[in-house]
Amino acid sequence: MQASSPQSTDYSGTHSRKRVLSENGVYEAGQSDVMQTLAQGVTYNFVANEFVLSKSRVWTKVYDPASQNFITRVPESTDVEVQNATVAAAAAQPAWAALTLSKRRSLLLNFLNVMKQSSSKIRHCLCVEVGKTLVDAEAEFERALDAVETACTVSNEMSGIHHLHQSAEVHTIHQPLGVCLTISPFNFPIMIPLWSIPYALITGNTVILKPSEKTPSATQALAECFYRAGFPSGVFNAINGGANVVNTLLSQPVVRAVSFVGSEVAGERVYDHAKATRKRVQVECNGKNHGVVLEDASKMKALYAIAGSAFGAAGQRCMSLSVAVFVGSTKEWINDLVTLAKSLVIGCGLDPLVEVGPLISQAAKARVEEIITNAENEGAKVVLDGRNYHVPDYPNGNFIGPTILTKVHPYMSCYQEEIFGPVLCCIEVNTLEEAIQLINDNRYGNGCTLFTSSPVNAQVFQRLVNVGQVGINVPILAPSGPVMRTANKDSFLGDQHVSGRTSWQFFAMTKTVTSLWS
């Protein structure tokens, strides 16, 4: 299909505003608030600084996971709409790259300030659409800010290095790749896109975000922040849809780098497609995170940490502890863990007393319940059963209570699969060495934790365990800001890891220039 020019693209049904270039060369936003004119109950694409109502014939309804109240409709964007987004991003990239680093950083700082001004709206969106508790929504928002702030500090590292070589001068320069694609999951719709987008932007690339179709409102709020921050047209774009939209985006030659966080099945497809078309790609996918409890651990601190990590966010975190490995006599602590899990308050995330919210959808709830049932059929014991959990004020909510399985063996499906729900598998071993071997035999390498009071045991564990992110007495392994995520084994595919101070290198190509002057 022949790509149309940005000037000839039909943006009927769009909302835009004028961009003003200030004296210091930074684009400033106009005064009108276009968000007041957008129709309610429908999600817009964001292309070339315009909120575009899709002409798709296929729309999916999104519901509040706690109440099942209707929130919005999200389109399966058409191939033409996807191409419009890539054309806009490609057209904007040369001028964006031509701006100085300080000007691009200034716009990111503008974006940061707009996000802070929109804090209440964004956090409310996370609670209503994702089902997060108020505490979890606040945590995601703060980590998102942290990611942007870190990206704003790396510009000095991007100036390259000069070397003296006899009479010649050798220096490196870093240049943007072009158009970069970010594909993000439902569970952290604000934070995870900002693991990659600020780094892509500050290096001079333009970006297309394809968010999860389960949480489109959060992305629209993010687009509004870019819009209000005064970014030039086409620098940031967001296009909605499912697998077909992803495939169409990946097939675009102008897309040169892909950052993906999500399920293993989708991640492998994205990786294979990207590599086949010689794009840079980073894919972070499933995990099965183990928490090993030694006899010298602080009992209640360890149990509280495990419960918070396993059941917080309804278990919908790739860094949740989903397997508790009890070493020696610590298996006797399981009853206390059950008592603690029973005390957790379950309900709508907007309630400040709630500690565990709903799962994202009815399909997700059905899948988790099926995994629990299958585990029981395979011989596991359900010592705490969260199936058929009833929240009085929300009878239709996607709730599953904290669930604890014992007598779990590595061959069981509940251990082999990432459950992505409030389910904890308990395994008993005799020694630390057995626990390490269990973790190393698992095909995932997202994270693991050791609970101990012994520095010697901690040193042994962190040296011998084959997992990318290791915690010592840390319940949730979630690096942020300047710390790079370092998942390994089947939890990561790609050229360079996601997030962290050095992740800008993924979005830049390095040239070495040797000069000799007589």
Catalytic center residues: 318
C-alpha–C-alpha distance, residues 97 and 89, integer Å: 12
**Exposed/middle/buried for residue 502 (C-beta within 10 Å: 0-12, 13-18, 19+):** middle
Sequential DSSP letters for 121-185:
HHHHHIIIII---HHHHHHHHHHHHHHHHHHTT-GGGGG--EEEETTEEEEEEEEE-SEEEEE--
Distances (CA, A) of 79 to 76, 230, 274, 278: 9, 28, 18, 22
48: left (phi over 0), alpha (psi -120 to 50) or beta: left
Contact 230, 107 (CB under 8 A): yes
Distances (CA, A) of 198 to 204, 279, 379, 429: 10, 19, 48, 44
- The one-character DSSP state at 190 is T
**Exposed/middle/buried for residue 304 (C-beta within 10 Å: 0-12, 13-18, 19+):** middle
Give the β-pairing of 19-21 and 27-29.
antiparallel
Long-range contacts of 360-365 (CB under 8 A, 24+ apart): 360/65, 360/130, 360/131, 360/186, 360/187, 360/214, 360/215, 360/316, 360/398, 361/63, 361/65, 361/214, 361/398, 362/398, 364/316, 364/398, 364/420, 364/421, 365/398, 365/399, 365/400, 365/421
Beta strands in 177-250 (DSSP E): 179-183, 206-210, 236-238
**Exposed/middle/buried for residue 205 (C-beta within 10 Å: 0-12, 13-18, 19+):** buried
